[in-house]
Structures are given as structure tokens and as C-alpha cells.
Structure 1
Amino acid sequence: MTTAPARPALRATSLRDGAVRPEDRPARFVFLLLNDFTFLSFASAIEPLRLANKYVGRAIFDWHLVSENGATARCSNGIELNVQGGLDELTRDDTLLVCGGIDVQANTSKAVLNWLRREARRGVTIGGLCTAAHTMAKAGLLDGKKATIHWENQDSFGEEFEEVALSKSVFVIDGNRYTTAGGTSSIDLMLTLIADAHGKDLANVVADQLIYSSIRTDQDTQRLSIPTRIGVRHPKLSQVIQLMEQNIEEPISPSILASDVGMSTRQLERLFRRYLNRSPKRYYMELRLQKARNLLLQTEMSVINVALACGFTSPSHFSKCYRAHYDTTPYRERGTMSARLSV
């Protein structure tokens, strides 16, 4: 007969502000499911809570699902979930997590924004999973705060919410505001909250149950490193690409890029041809066009402002380059044939 390993002693449940929660009252998380929310981000947040309860042997966490209409909520993979309520008043001890996904702008209604503002005024802790940082920022809940959002939405978020200190971290905790980058980053946030409330031993046990071998912190970035992303481990090539990514609005000439990393322009050309099968100029152009496409699809910026934000001073040149790369014009990408450039 085998003996089960001893469970670590759990400390009193405490919040980040130092308050103590009674042992017999589970901490409640309320999940607001916006339409087209990302199922993975949602599941990655709720499963650590379930496993923590299972290991402790009692409910130390509770959760409640709500939607704007109080009926069903549809996620981006087409699955519909039943919820337990609508935009009702929460208790101050609740933690509200907004679950976003695709088309977050269209799925962020005035009713949702007004509800978030009301609950924020009442002191409720509010977080955003995946793209829901956009919803929180739209409600003014992230003004003057640090936040993160999925890397694909960073360009549009940065253009629209300049008052928010945007981070590339997998998650950010700034006071009573939480944001995550999407995907499995919800796991990292929840493990951190579990560790804060009940100790690292419990968080580690939950991570093991999830087969999650490396718990990330708010210092970890959400995207792969440049060498891993491009499949090439060449320090000077990585340095140049980083410079390009950091200077989209005002592109740097190949000669200056080469000089900055201590090589000649011809050496830089050979480096890009050898490892990426394209010129530095071509690679830089693709980065700029990728950002332009994100802005066209995710913001209401005019085409001319998108062009300027991506380093194109000539609208006609922008349109020509865009069409050559994506086989469509910026106007059609935006979804209107009659759009005109305006300053």
C-alpha cells in the first residue's frame, strides 16, 4: 500500500492588497464572455482554478459566467456556452475577467463599456484575457497603466490608446488591473494569482497537473525571440531585424543599419540573401506592410494615416506596394471601394 505524498501547508488566503479572505469563503472569478472570445484563453484561466480546488479538497475558488445578453456566449471556434447571468452588479471582492477574441472592437458594446466603468468605480478588480485589453482601454480602465495584448493587436492598440503603457509581456498586473496576451498566457496569470493567495507550492502542483513545465512571469515576452522566429542564429542579423521592427514609422536606410551593427552595406545585403533569401530593403518593406494590414483591419484610421504610420509618405506608393504584396489595394482591404485618402 502506497502513501500519498504530503500536501504542502496552505497559508491564509490573501490578496495583493494584503487583505485576508475568510477560509470558508471561496474567491470568486466572474468571466464576461464577449462574442467570438478565444476558447483557449478562457479555458487556460478556469482550469487552474478547478485543479487548485481539486488538490486542496475544497472550493477555494469559485467562478461565474456572464454575457451581455445573459443567454449564451459564442466563442471564435463556434462553440456556444451557457452562462449564469448578464451584466448584473458584482460584489467588491469579485475578480472580473473579460474574455476577448476576434473582432473585439465590434463585440465591445456601449452596454459592456458602461458596466465595466460602473464596476470599476465600485472597486472591482478587472482583467482582460487575450484581446480584452482593448475593451478595458476603451472603457478608460487602463489610462496611465501598463498593459499587454496579443502581439497581432499591438500595432492597432498602440495607435488608438497612447495613454496606456503597452508591454510585450505575456501578462501584466498593474494594481487591480490584469491583462494577458492570449493563448496560454492565462495560465501564467492564474498561477501567479494562486501563488499570491495560497503559496507557490500549490501553484507548482497545479502547473504539474497541467503538464506546464515552465511558469512564465510578467517579465517574459509573448513572442519567440528573433533567432527562433526566423530560424537563424546570427547575432548581427537579429540586431538589424530588431532595429527594423522598432523603426517602422521612420524607416532606417540599409547603409545606416549596416553601420549600426558594424558591417558594410554589401555585407548586410549578402547576410540577408544568404539567410532570408531577400534583400534588407525587401524584408523591411514586408514588415511595414504587415503592420499596415493590421492597422487597416483592426482600426478606423484613414488609409493615409495608416500609410504614414508605416513609413510611406506617398499614398500612391503605399497603394502600389500593398497591391504588389497582398494582391489587393488598401481600400479593398478596408472593405470600401469608394474610400478616399484624407489627411
Structure 2
Amino acid sequence: MATAPTTARVERTGRKPKRFVFVLLPNFTLLSFSCALEPLRIANRMAGGQLYSWTLIGEGGDVVQCSAGTEFRLNGDLEDVGRDDMVLLCGGLNVQEASTKRLVNWIRREARRGATIGGLCTAGYTLARAGLLDGRRATIHWENQDSFLEEFEDVELTKSVFVMDGNRYTTAGGTSSIDLMLKLIAEDHGEDLASCVADQLIYSSIRTDQDTQRLSIPTRIGVRHPKLSTVIQMMEKNIEEPISPACLARDVGMSTRQLERLFRRYLSRSPKRYYMEIRLQRARNLLMQTDMSVINVALACGFASPSHFSKCYRAHYDTTPYRERGAKAARHHHD
């Protein structure tokens, strides 16, 4: 028989439970949502009382489907929220389409009334579209970073797992919702309770807003060579105006030939080839996730002419940028 969990000592202030209003967007990511909700449920259980309550709302107020296909019955339509409520939008696939005019206007109105509003996973896009992140720091799932940067120049996008900037919160998706909720629980009721919740979740490495969502370059490519990592970082930061191999080599105190050898040894390709692959990968992201014209995608990824871009793209992906865009439109229509 399972033993009863140790309850955390929580200061009883007599205040009413803090309410979370979860706004479920069509095709929201189940993992991000459940990782936000479960810590609240566990916090109540560990404290032996109701510290938190929650409600699920969304456009239409009836039923919404997550990206895994499971349907959730909503408690209501987009409604006025209390001043002390915390609104968390849960995003997922096709967030541009899910960010309807009605939803955007609703969150603008709630923001004007002083609500604390957060975006989980891709829902940072919805907050940005509503203008709620202008001049603020934010994060979003790494797959959406390129398209977000192109569309929202006034937002200081980071690669943190979560960001709290004033009364605007964003997370990178996946399990990062847990990190945000543990931080909020610790702020509300102390580190002890947050630690108890983490233990219940078997969540041993709690991350802060200083942690980044993607693996570091050395981990990602399986290489631990500081100069190589520095060069790759410079490449990733200079996509629109690529830096020549000679300049890259000079900046890390090497000759061009030494840099060539380093890339061949660790990555089995030349620096030029590797740089091209990074740029083409960025281009593919923009083609798939934005409505930018093919010409603008080419320019954003450092290609002077659409024909050169098309030729390089075809050599790497075995299809043209125009066909890629057409295939995306066809898939979207089919969905």
C-alpha cells in the first residue's frame, strides 16, 4: 500500500485560491498543458488544501482538440477574467491560424485590464501578434524561433526555457511549463513546497530562466573543440550576411587552412559547405512556417539571387523552394 505523501508546511493566509485560466488553442500541445496543470494539482495535494484552482476556456466554449487528437470539453468561451487570475494560452501546431482576430482582441482587452498573461509553447506568437511582448524579453519553441524573429522585430527573443518579464510569461514548450510553474509556486508559497512538487513529478533538474532550450553546439554536434564551437556560433548568428571563411578563421586566431582541416576532421565537410547547410536549414524553416515570399526568404538567408538560392536548395533537399512552399500549402489544405 502506498504511503501518504509528506505534506509541505504552507503558511495559511486565509486568502482564496489563486485561479489559472487556461486558454486552449486548437491543436494545442498536450505535454505543455499537462506540465502546467499537474504542478498545481500536486501543490494542492502536498499542501493539504486548495492553493490553486483552474478553468479551461477557448473560442466557442465547447470542445477543443489537442495536436494528439484527444478532445477536451471546455468550461466556457472567452470570458472576462478576474484581476488576480493568471491567463495561460496553450499553443501548438498552426499557431498562426489559431491566433484569430477574436482571440487577439480578447487578450488585448484583458491585458489593458491588468491581467497577467502567459504563452506556453508556441502561444508566445499569439501574445506577440497582440503586441503584448513589444519591448519585452520572450521565448518560444526553437522550431518557431526563425519565423518569430522575422515577424516581430520589437520583441527581444531569447532561447531560455521560460521568460518572466513583468506580467508577461512565455515558455519554450515541452516540459518547460514545469519549470515556470515551480518558479511560481516557490514565489507564492516557498521553495519547500516547490521542491516537494518537483519530487512528486520525479523532476530532479529544475531549470531557471537562465537555462537555454536547445543543446549547446558542442553537445549537439558531438564535438568539444572551443574554436570550432565559436566559429559555428558566429555562422548561426550571421545568416543574412555570411562571413567569409578567411574572416572566421582570423577571428579565432587560425589560418584558413587550419580552419578547413578542423572542419574536415570533426564534421567531414568544408566550412563553406557547413555554413551553406545552416543557411538552407534556416531557409526551409522560413518556407514552412511563414508566408514570406521565396525571394525574401532567399535574402534573409544570405542569397543574392532567387536562382542561386533555388539551385542550392535543390542540390541539398532535392526539391525547389517553390515546390516546398506548394507542398506546405497542399498539406495545410488537406488538414
Post-superposition CA distance 1:112-161 (Å, at most 9, x none)? 11111111111111000001000001011111111111111111111100
**Does residue 42 of the first structure (1) align with residue 43 of the second (2)?**
no
Aligned residues: 326
Instruction: Name the structure 1 match of 2:10.
Output: 10
Instruction: Name the structure 2 match of 1:89.
Output: 80
> What displacement does 1:169 show?
0.7
1: CA distance, partners of 2:50 / 2:8 = 17
SS in 1 for 2:233: helix
Instruction: Name the structure 2 match of 1:302.
Output: 293
1:1-343 maps to which residues of 2 (within 5 A)? Answer: 7-11=7-11, 23-335=14-326
1: CA distance, partners of 2:179 / 2:137 = 17
Which amino acid in structure 2 is aligned with residue 56 of structure 1?
A
Post-superposition CA distance 1:192-217 (Å, at most 9, x none)? 00000000111111111111111111
SS in 1 for 2:239: coil
Alignment CA distance shift 1:5-1:59 (3 Å) = closer
Which amino acid in structure 2 is aligned with residue 127 of structure 1?
G
The answer to whether the Cα contact below 8 Å between 2:6 and 2:46 also exists between their aligned partners in 1 is no
1: CA distance, partners of 2:186 / 2:124 = 23
Q: What TM-score do you get using the length of structure 1 for normalisation?
A: 0.92
Alignment CA distance shift 1:5-1:37 (3 Å) = closer
2: CA distance, partners of 1:120 / 1:336 = 38
> What displacement does 1:23 show?
2.6
2: CA distance, partners of 1:204 / 1:28 = 21
Q: What TM-score do you get using the length of structure 2 for normalisation?
A: 0.94
Instruction: Name the structure 2 match of 1:17.
Output: none
2: CA distance, partners of 1:80 / 1:29 = 20
Instruction: Name the structure 2 match of 1:341.
Output: none
SS in 2 for 1:322: helix
Q: Which sections of structure 1, spanning at least 5 residues, go unmatched?
A: 13-21, 338-343
Dislocated runs of 4+, deviation >6 Å: 3-6
Post-superposition CA distance 1:284-309 (Å, at most 9, x none)? 11110111111111112111111111
The answer to whether the Cα contact below 8 Å between 2:8 and 2:46 also exists between their aligned partners in 1 is no
Which amino acid in structure 2 is aligned with residue 228 of structure 1?
T
1: CA distance, partners of 2:327 / 2:192 = 55
1: CA distance, partners of 2:6 / 2:50 = 19
SS in 1 for 2:97: coil
Alignment CA distance shift 1:322-1:31 (3 Å) = same
> What displacement does 1:78 show?
1.2
SS in 1 for 2:98: coil
> What displacement does 1:5 show?
8.6
2: CA distance, partners of 1:194 / 1:290 = 39
The answer to whether the Cα contact below 8 Å between 2:162 and 2:169 also exists between their aligned partners in 1 is yes
